[in-house]
Amino acid sequence: MNLMLLSSDYAKLHAAAMVSLVASSLGQTVNVFVSMEALPGFHLDAKERESIGRGPIGDAIHASGTPDYLQVFAQAKEFGDVHLYACSLVADLKGWSLADLSPLFDDMLGVAGFLNQIESGVSLTF
């Protein structure tokens, strides 16, 4: 399974994390490319992560005490073969290195590099 995270919507990031968790627990390999407005949500600085918007569902998820999307992605990586890749273009535009981002990332790649990493299978965009 291949996921491209592009949105700065909390509910979408959480949904992608849940899909990764379920797929990995079922033995599927999951490759996740985090780019565009989604990448700030994976920054180590909480102020950068604040750019991730929460609509009504995102607010409800957050208020419920459910683990956030970063915690769910960490669980997915523990359960199975899950790989997260940060977009090098967005990181360059923001002046970030891999050290500025969540330790969940396996590497920083461009779109071509990510497409080279993935195999055939289901591809979803969030």
Set out the domains of the chain in order of their start, with CATH numbers. Answer: 2-125 (3.40.1260.10)
What pLDDT is attached to residue 120? Answer: 79
Average pLDDT on 30-44 reads 98
In this predicted model, what pLDDT tens digit does every residue of 55-83 receive, in sequence order? 999 999 989 999 999 999 999 999 999 99
Partner residues linked to 124 by β-bridges:
3
> 106 φ, ψ to 5°?
-85, -30
Residue 96 has which token pair? 């970030």
What pLDDT is attached to residue 117? Answer: 84
Tell whether the model's pLDDT for residue 118 goes beyond 90.
no
What pLDDT is attached to residue 119? Answer: 76
In this predicted model, what pLDDT tens digit does every residue of 81-96 receive, in sequence order? 999 999 999 999 999 9
What pLDDT is attached to residue 121? Answer: 82
d(CA 125, CA 75): 20
User: Is 33 in contact with 124 (CB distance < 8 Å)?
Assistant: no
Query: Which pairing describes strands 82-87 and 30-34: parallel, antiparallel, or unpaired?
Result: parallel
DSSP characters over the chain = -EEEE---BHHHHHHHHHHHHHHHHTT--EEEEE-GGGGGGGBSSHHHHTTSB--HHHHHHHHTTPPPHHHHHHHHHHHS-EEEEEEHHHHHHHT--GGGB-TTEEEEE-HHHHHHH--SS-EEE-
C-alpha neighbours within 13 Å on the C-beta side of residue 93: 11
What's the full length of the chain, in residues? 126
In this predicted model, what pLDDT tens digit does every residue of 5-19 receive, in sequence order? 999 999 999 999 999
